[in-house]
Structure 1
Amino acid sequence: MSAEKLLQETLALRGSSLNEAPLSLSDVQSRARSIRRRRTACAGVGALAVVAAVAAVAVPVTLSGTSTKSVAPATTGPSPTAKATLNMQEEATIPYVESGTLHMPDGFSYTSKGSPITGVVLVGGHPVVTTTKDGQNTVATTIGDLSSPATAPAVASADGKVAAWVDPDNDAVMMSTASATAPLRFGTVKSGTTDDRAQVVAVTGEDCPRVCTVFVNVTGTASGGDTVSLVGTLASVAGSDSPPRWTPLVPGDAHLESVDDVTGTVAAGTLSVDEFPASDADPLCVADGIVRWSGVVDLQAGSELWRTCSARNLDVSPSGAYAVGTPVESDGLGPRRLLLFDGQGSDLGGLGDDGSTIMDSAWEDDTHLLLAMLYDDGVTWKLMRYDVVSQEMVPLRVLTGKPEDYKTLVLP
């Protein structure tokens, strides 16, 4: 069964379908929240959806009429430190950007002219990059002549055939192959809000753009003047001449504010409820009277499997066996450590290196995580590989960046 078909059948369980009228903004109204988009594109995940937020474990969320089981919040353990004696010559197995130059596992390198690279995805085996200058993003192909404005870095489709992004001038989702000279207009975001800030977070499908679903986060202003955050999809259907229709994504009774990552049937995002008494919730889960949580949801069964109050922005490994998240108390440039969970939500402790901030992370495979770490002197960076089984941290690169250059290392 395709991911699109599974998504449609799951949403139909609670009475919504692609043919149903969009929900009113009063159903999705919520305060805006800055969401860090997870750019890792994993593959082969089982029928789970990881839904990341900051949440009260005492709050049951009903999905398709099934109540979840309350689970105690996770605790954290000690952080393993880096081992400086390990092999410094090992290479990363996924692309990364170092001091403005893109490095590929096969030895290919690419340097953008004039603007730093702030994002990279693989399309047809070739990198498509996003550069940023003066707050403006541009998507560019490295083997073609395409250059297109974007609200955020481009995202690769699950089948690896296209990159997708939102054009800031018309709220249109654009797509491109690695060698295209001009983008394809896929569909238009119609959220019902004004002053939208929309960005593509994932593209699933078996033959994109002919058959695929695009997941889009939107933050905008409702008719009453309040700021709202919501998620919707644009889906194309084989053999249909109709343009993709904007459909609000509503997995259960809680409000889905944003999605950080979708792989097959796995989605990492933010859920909230505002009618639950905040006084009964864990203080870590409450902000301005709204309760948010991180948890794992099985879309096929329509039930939530586990949740935690200690982490947000969950990012799962390719098979769903592990997940990492940012501690809720993190602020400033980034977290000092990440929290690691297994596929059942058990806390496996924290990971990090003393005297450093984790600026970016990405899964290499199911048991290895790459970390871009900035040390407290403000210029020393390390590209580290963490093994979730041995709990060892291996430095792959050590370099000196420029002061206040927080994109010295960029991971996909």
Structure 2
Amino acid sequence: MNQNPSDPTNPDAPWEEAMSRDFDARVRDLHEAPIDFTSVKGKAHKIRRNRRAAVAGGILGVAAIFTPIAVLTNGGGTSGKEPGFAPEVSETDPAPDAGPDYLVDRVWHQADGDTVELDQAYDSAVLWDGQLVATRFGGEVYSTADVIDADGDVVRSFSTTGSVVVNDAGTTIAWVDSDGAVMTAWDDEERSLGEVDLAAPGEASAWTAAAVTGGPDCNEEADGCIVYVNSNLGEESRSYSSQGVSDIVASGVTKVHDADSMGAVTVINDVTEFLDTCGGIYEVPNAEYRWETCDYQVHGSSPDGRYVVGLPSQFDGLGPREITILDAETGDPTAGRYAPEGRDAFIRAEVAWTDEGTLAFAAYDGARWHLMEMEPDGSITELATADGSDVDSPFVLIGH
């Protein structure tokens, strides 16, 4: 392996700022980590000092009082970074168009190997018609999304309750703005498909966008769009269409992870008495489940719709200990499975599919972070490594 050490971070950035960014990302995303009966289980979410807290490694019932409380289940230590620490990133030389797009602090690493310097670090990002739409924490509750061109210049900014989502074609984005409007945008146009009530206790963000399908044009008479939103207060997930229809996704569904252009939605719909998170693929046009499982948490689907991500149905600490690619038609595991070695090893739950149909994810081995790429046949490639503590992953995967 040829290694090309680089130093993509700002050495003047305080250690606390970098850690706070990651704390905020873990509380708010993937896509958003709500304080509800199903979604807080199995994740150790970190907290900014003045942010809402989330529960890790257990269940907080829907009927519970939603008072912010911070819990860290594994007592996770840090790597002892000093102020001014900048992770040293070593990268392989993947084939053009074979790797994922990702951020390392203030650098946008593109799939073709090019890099673009950014003015600041971000918590999450998607690609939209060749532009980067990156979200950063912007206040006590809401975030700011920046639309960034190919030169790294911010061409537009707007407020959002959480991460921005993008459709399969990369032509349409959606978000919930700070006034509660469920927004869509394409080309030089935008449209609200409805409104949600953002009233919430403490500093919680009541609703966040989970997925958008259809487009590119979300006008009623044109292509049509559906935006799926998740409640952070235990309510059932909802969908908003450009035809003016708003309803729950399905009875009992409290979290949508992803949706494809055919209306297949990966969801969470139950938690067993043994604290296993259950869900599956719900087919919206047929109003029925393709399959359900309590063996895995079912997350994002591949670009061709053939596969979905399977994480353990329950996990403690900072993240799952393994990740599996599932057959989207049957729910059966493929040969694609990865479990990092080491007592303190885990995988960040925030993963992303590449345009080539490989799964990208970041894994921590107890000492360093590794950016990995896995194919459904089980082939695994390490794309980059970086220093960082267990609560401070340097990699932000960019959704397509």
Q: Please say if 1:397 is aligned against 2:387.
A: no
Q: Give the structure-1-normalised TM-score.
A: 0.63
Equivalents in 1 of 2:191, 2:346: separation in Å? 39
- Indicate the residue corresponding to 2:136 in structure 1: 131
- Indicate the residue corresponding to 1:93 in structure 2: 99
- Indicate the residue corresponding to 1:154 in structure 2: 164
- Indicate the residue corresponding to 1:386 in structure 2: 374
Are 1:317 and 1:366, in contact at CA under 8 Å, matched by a contact in 2? no
Are 1:383 and 1:409, in contact at CA under 8 Å, matched by a contact in 2? no
Q: Please say if 1:325 is aligned against 2:331.
A: no
- Indicate the residue corresponding to 1:371 in structure 2: 361
Q: Please say if 1:256 is aligned against 2:217.
A: no
- Indicate the residue corresponding to 2:125 in structure 1: 120
Change (3 A) 1:213 1:296: closer
Are 1:32 and 1:219, in contact at CA under 8 Å, matched by a contact in 2? no
- Indicate the residue corresponding to 1:283 in structure 2: 274
1:177 deviation in Å?
4.7
Are 1:191 and 1:218, in contact at CA under 8 Å, matched by a contact in 2? no
Change (3 A) 1:197 1:131: same
Q: Deviations over 1:56-81 (max 9, x none)?
A: xxxxxxxxxxxxxxxxxxxxxxxxxx
1:283 deviation in Å?
2.4
Q: Please say if 1:268 is aligned against 2:262.
A: no
Equivalents in 1 of 2:358, 2:161: separation in Å? 30
Q: Deviations over 1:250-294 (max 9, x none)?
A: 43xx41212111111111112139xxxxxxx67244xxxxxx522
Change (3 A) 1:366 1:249: farther
Change (3 A) 1:368 1:403: closer
1:142 pairs, out of 122, 141, 148, with 148
Q: Which of structures 1 and 2 has the bigger CA Rg? A: 1
Are 1:119 and 1:410, in contact at CA under 8 Å, matched by a contact in 2? yes
Identical counterparts, % of pairs: 23
1:233 deviation in Å?
2.1
Q: Give the structure-2-normalised TM-score.
A: 0.65
1:376 deviation in Å?
0.3
1:191 deviation in Å?
5.3
- Indicate the residue corresponding to 1:50 in structure 2: none
- Indicate the residue corresponding to 1:165 in structure 2: 175
Q: Deviations over 1:28-48 (max 9, x none)?
A: xx84733999xxxxxxxxxxx
Equivalents in 2 of 1:296, 1:32: separation in Å? 16
Report how many aligned residue pairs link the two structures.
298
- Indicate the residue corresponding to 1:344 in structure 2: 330
* Structure ranking higher in strand proportion: 1
- Indicate the residue corresponding to 1:25 in structure 2: none
- Indicate the residue corresponding to 1:310 in structure 2: 295
RMSD, matched Cα:
3.3
For structure 1, the 5+ residue unaligned runs are 1-29, 38-86, 221-227, 238-243, 274-280, 286-291
Change (3 A) 1:411 1:205: closer
Equivalents in 2 of 1:158, 1:36: separation in Å? 28
Q: Please say if 1:335 is aligned against 2:320.
A: yes
Equivalents in 2 of 1:405, 1:272: separation in Å? 30
Change (3 A) 1:353 1:175: same
Are 2:281 and 2:292, in contact at CA under 8 Å, matched by a contact in 1? yes
Q: Please say if 1:217 is aligned against 2:230.
A: yes
Partner of 2:351, secondary structure, is strand
For structure 2, the 5+ residue unaligned runs are 1-35, 44-90
Are 2:267 and 2:282, in contact at CA under 8 Å, matched by a contact in 1? no
Are 1:321 and 1:366, in contact at CA under 8 Å, matched by a contact in 2? no
- Runs in 1 of length 4+ with deviation above 6 angstroms? none
- Indicate the residue corresponding to 1:358 in structure 2: 347
- Indicate the residue corresponding to 1:198 in structure 2: 207
Equivalents in 2 of 1:316, 1:309: separation in Å? 18
